[in-house]
Chain A
Amino acid sequence: MGRLIATRAGLGLLTLLAVSVLIFVCTQILPGDVASAVLGQQATPDALRVFRAELGLDKPAYLRYFSWLFGVFHGDFGRSLTNQRDILSELGPRFANTLFLAAYAAMIAVPLAVGLGILSAIREGRLTDRIANVLTLVAISVPEVFVGYILIIIFAIDLGWFPSLATVFPGMGLGERLYVATLPALTLTMVVTAHMLRMTRNSVLSIMSTPYIEMAFLKGLSRSRVVSRHALPNAAGPIISVVALNLAYLVVGVVVVENVFVYPGVGQYMVDAVSKRDVPVVQACGLVFAAVFVCLNTFADIMAILVNPRLRRRR
């Protein structure tokens, strides 16, 4: 197990390196640079020249990449090109916010989805199953912006139970954060539940057709016991994978929800940086996201192994 984790960690670091090169190359290919993006309509040739010289953008690309990499190995992510602010101190709180929202949404969505998925599998074909399927499909088909707006209209404007702006500030207590972030968490829940639910249901149902399950039924066990004690442990693999994937999405893919609820997470920060071609910021955010994916995938793999005794021992 220890060797496994070590190999995965090593591979993960290589992945991060590859990601950083890819992001750097892609941002260089995009038209324009930080000078023209920040100055916008005010970008005269002179102003551009002075702006670029100030930031050392006249150096060749590979030099800039390696000096950035060197900095990262020393824990210095550098300064934003647009406003000279230290990136780590900007990114830190935002990443914490993103993780908070993702965790909040996950704590609602995962039990809901997996529980409903198992329930649907147990009562396959019956009313619960059909309703759960249809509702979640509708929820996932509607764009998350729209879901967000609907929730705001119902809960923030009409009922007034929650605020429509979910901005969290440093110094806010846990209770207040939970209160303010409820609507975005609900929006995200609606977006990710369907995938996990259906995967859980399908995974469990595919196990249900195996001989040993049939044996369990013949022994006279109830359906719920068969599913929870005998089918679920074997179905856990795909379920864990899909949960990990959706958790990664909750961290990485929620820019739109952040925008609608004005939640200060990493997504909006990265999008702003990309449109201003602020390369150090884009790199830093890219690394953070890649690291999240790598960690979650590793965790999912480890869990899958733990759950399946056949994989635990190496022969």
Chain B
Amino acid sequence: MKRNSTSGLIIDRRELMAGAAAVGLSFGLRPAFADEAPKKGGTLKLGMEGGSASDSLDPRTYADSIPISYGWQIWNGLVEIDANGDAVGELAENFEAKPGATTWIFNIRKGISFTSGKKLDAEDVIYSLNLHRGETKSGAKDLLSNIADIKKLDTHQIEFTLKSGDAGFPTVFADYHILIVPTGFTDFSKPDGTGAYALESFEPGVRVITKNKGNYWKPNRGNFDSVELRYIPDAAARTQALISGQIDAANRLDAKTVSLVMKAPTVDVVRSKGTGNRFAFVAHCDADPYTNNDIRLALKYGIDRQKIVDAVYKGFATIGNDTTVAPSMKYFAKDVPQRPYDPDKAAFHFKKAGMANATMELQVSEGAFSGATDAAVLYQEAMKKAGIDLQVKRVSGDGYWDNVWLKVPFCAVYWGGRPTCDNQLSQTFLSSANWNDTNWKRPEFDKILTAARAELDEAKRTQMYSDAQKMIVDDGGMVCFAIGDYLDGYGKKVKGTAPHPHYDMCDQRIAEKGWFA
């Protein structure tokens, strides 16, 4: 029943995990779950930004940090991202691909129960996945669009048939929308999940309380008696509450004040470098004057990235190289040189384009991301030194994502990190992507990306992703100048915290992973 991967290629750690032998080795488990022996007990008080009074318990609507956090307290996904950024089995015990990576077999863990007592089986998984496929409002729909068919092979085994090969397929199930509910489940106001905690009280916009169910199936996880998640959208209020001990953990500390917070004796700050939001200005490649690549190069040479990182993010960000792939990610193109700030080259390309009278107007708003206006003004100053006139227009944040992004030829945007390079590039740069905010369509790029998905040879795959990124860097319309750091704050008695390559607050699973000293 369980077969080793027979492709005959070099087996690396990824293959080993993907093709667990009949001996039942589960390589993914230990590194993800094992910690120093944690103590049980206590109420974890989280103070977070990233939600509002309109939040719902329905995972299809999740879009921000607070719902993600309570989602993973109550439910589990099929797969989670470990400390190295790889997908390891959560409710899926293991998974393997047939050669060609178009067919995948997933084995579901046995002996796991929902809060209601129902035992987890393949039917539950299939039902849960279908909530995000077909006619659905779920934000995960695009991620699952490559699935052609899901077939139940056995009570705990599922076969996926993909439209095109994808060697990194399991990672899509790490998405925060795709939570596993019992088959036929519809009433999300009374959640039923396999997670460590059960919902006790839900007041969106105020707080969410969950209580430990006891007997969590993951060893050394789910250590608090209960979790109280408080909505504190104001950064100063959140920081003050953390320092005075009213909350045990806070997310999104303000870069402007975090150096002061680091000095507070009651607080630890956990900084995840360069894994946060990617901040960029995007120009439509099909709108004049940005149709000319020399103009686009001028835009990319004419921005002083380090200055923006220092002034706007106080050094708590990494310089970006005009794609949404971060240096911390696997398959980041290390051999593509970082474009420097070079006013002379910018002036040269601008002159070469021969569009000296072109007006370039960058629209920004604090509604795009906090600091966008400051970054744009610094950009304008840097461009002046190259003799280029860049106009900056500040617009309202309200309705920014409806009226400005994707519609206006040159504007500000932020992109969240994704677990894989493929996800990251597909959502933004594929010709067919809904969110291709530079309108950059290159069939050669699409071909490389599709081929890279199915490529099982690591060396070839790395080269393909590197080529793909080089295309974007040299020809694309995105000026990605910074990738933010995540700054989490924890009270000194919270243990088990560490930076994570995926999301902040220990991949939004601090309630599950942490414990009190």
Q: Which of A152, A156, A160, A259 contacts B233 (CB 8 A)?
A: A259
| A209: Cβ under 8 A from any B Cβ | no
Q: Is B137's CB within 8 Å of the partner chain A?
A: yes
Known A-B contacts A156-B244, A163-B244, A259-B234; A40 and B401 likewise in contact (beta carbons under 8 Å): yes
Is the Cβ of B402 less than 8 Å from the Cβ of A36? Answer: yes
- Judged by a CB distance under 8 angstroms, whether B240 is at the interface is yes
Cross-chain contact B246 with A164 (CB below 8 angstroms):
yes
User: Quick check: which of B99-107, B109-117, B200-208, B450-458 contacts chain A, the rest being far away?
Assistant: B200-208
B63/A39 in contact, CB under 8 A: yes
Contact mask for chain A residues 47-68; partner B; CB cutoff 8 A; 1 contact, 0 none: 1101100100000000000000
B136 and A273 form a contact (CB under 8 A): no
The yes or no answer to A41 lying at the interface (CB within 8 A) is yes
B390 contacts partner chain A, Cβ-Cβ < 8 Å: no
Contacts A152-B240, A262-B234 given; does A275 touch B398 at CB 8 Å: yes
Query: Does A276 touch B at the CB level, under 8 Å?
Result: yes
Contacts of B52 in A (CB 8 A): 272, 275-276
Cβ of B502 within 8 Å of any chain A Cβ, yes or no, is no
Query: For this complex, into which size category does the number of interface residues on chain A fall?
Result: 35 or more
Chain A: minimal CB distance from B79 (Å): 20
Q: Which A residues, 242 to 294, have Cβ-Cβ distances below 8 Å to chain B?
A: 259-262, 264, 268-269, 272-273, 275-276, 278
Given A163-B246, A260-B236: A41 and B401 interface contact (C-beta under 8 Å): yes
Binding stretch for chain A, among B53-61, B90-98, B328-336: B53-61
Name which of B122-130, B138-146, B152-160 contacts chain A.
B138-146
Q: Is the CB of A268 within 8 A of B246?
A: no
Residue of B nearest to A50 (CB): B137
B399 within 8 A of A: yes
Verify A31–B403 contact, CB threshold 8 A.
yes
B53 touches A269 (CB 8 A): yes
Selected contact of A44 from candidates B141, B232, B236, CB within 8 Å? B141
Residue with the highest number of chain B CB atoms closer than 10 Å, among A48, A83, A278: A83
Q: Per DSSP, are chain A's interface residues mostly helix, strand or loop, or mixed?
A: helix
* B residues 35-80 in Cβ contact with A at 8 Å: 47, 52-58, 61, 63-64
Closest to B177 in A: A42
A44 and B237 form a contact (CB under 8 A): no
Of B61, B63, B207, B402, the contact of A167 (CB 8 Å cutoff): B207
How many A-B residue pairs have C-beta atoms within 8 angstroms? Tell me: 124
Interface residues of A in 139-190 (CB under 8 A from B): 149, 152, 156-157, 160, 163-165, 167, 169
What residues on B are CB-neighbors of A47 within 8 Å? Answer: 136-139, 141
A83 in contact with B56 (CB, 8 Å):
yes
Cβ B402 vs Cβ A269 within 8 A: no
Complex-state Cα separation, A273 to B233, whole angstroms: 15
Minimum distance in angstroms from A278 CB to a CB of chain B: 6
Least CB distance, B330 to chain A, in whole angstroms = 24
- Which of A32, A41, A50, A164 lies in contact with B237, CB distance below 8 A? A164
Q: CB of A225 within 8 A of chain B?
A: no
Residues in B neighbouring A90, C-beta threshold 8 A: 53
Instruction: Give the distance to chain A from B229, nearest Cβ to Cβ, in Å.
Output: 12
Q: Which of B53, B137, B399 contacts A272 (CB 8 A)?
A: B53
Residue of A nearest to B60 (CB): A47
Residues of B within 8 A of A84 (CB): 56, 189
Residues B233 and A269 in contact, CB atoms below 8 Å apart: no
Contact assessment for A156 and B230 in the assembled complex, using a CB-CB cutoff below 8 Å: no
B456 CB → nearest A CB, Å: 31
- Shortest Cβ distance from A45 into chain B, in angstroms? 7
Shortest C-beta distance, B248 to chain A (Å), equals 13
Chain B 397-429 against A: per-residue CB contact (8 Å), 1 yes, 0 no? Answer: 011011100000000000010000000000000
Asked if A43 contacts B204 (CB within 8 A), the reply is no
4 further A-B pairs in the complex, CB-CB below 8 A; given A43-B401, A82-B55, A264-B206: A38-B61, A42-B63, A83-B204, A164-B246
Enumerate 26 A-B pairs (CB-CB under 8 Å) in ascending A order.
A30-B398, A30-B399, A32-B403, A36-B402, A37-B402, A41-B401, A44-B141, A45-B434, A47-B141, A51-B137, A80-B54, A83-B56, A84-B189, A85-B189, A164-B240, A165-B237, A165-B246, A165-B247, A167-B206, A260-B234, A260-B237, A262-B232, A269-B53, A272-B53, A273-B53, A275-B398
